[in-house]
Every structure is written in structure tokens, then in C-alpha cells.
Amino acid sequence: MRFFRALIGGEHTGGVNASPNISFAGGVGVGIDYKLSPRFALRMSGDDIASSFVAPVYPAGSGNACTTTSNCSAHERRNSRASFGLVYKF
């Protein structure tokens, strides 16, 4: 059985000097389940997850906070992930 999924949520910068420190994150994924028995299957899937933050141009600790557009830069980050596992159906 094939499947498609959409992921929507938020992401936190984790202490990086950025404003705002929380951003929208979203992604898409696909996968396939290979049935082994009525209750067990093998699952393979992959996702592409994206987020966007405004990060400071200057190094951390330089005293230049990300307060104006002149010392900030928008950054989009994409991460791919693959997984393989065993599925048990109740």
C-alpha cells in the first residue's frame, strides 16, 4: 500500500539569536507498506521538511541583535529524512 502525507507545524531556533525564534515548518512525504502478514508490514518512507527563519548576519555574541532588516537575513532550511520500520496493526 502506498501513502502520501503532509506535515504542518512549528519549529524553534533552539537558542540561536534570531527574531522571531519560532517559525512555521511544513513538508511532504511518501512511503510504501509491504504486507508480511495480516498484522505485520514493512514500511519505507521519506519526507522533505522546510522551515524559514530570520537569522542575524553578524556572529553570535557580537552585540548586533537581529532587530532591523539591514543586519538580518532570511534563511530557508530544508531537511530530508528517510525511515524504515516494522508496522504492527491492531
How far is residue 35's CA from residue 1's CA, in Å, rounded to a whole number? 8
DSSP string over the chain: -EEEEEEEEEEE-SS-S-SSSEEEEEEEEEEEEEESSSSEEEEEEEEEEEEEEEEESSPTTSS--S-SGGGEEEEEEEEEEEEEEEEE--
Reported as half-sphere exposure (CB side, CA atoms, 13 A), residue 83 has a value of: 13
Per-residue pLDDT of the chain (90 residues; tens, 9 = 90+): 899 999 898 887 666 665 566 778 889 999 999 999 999 999 999 999 888 776 655 555 555 555 555 555 566 778 899 999 999 999
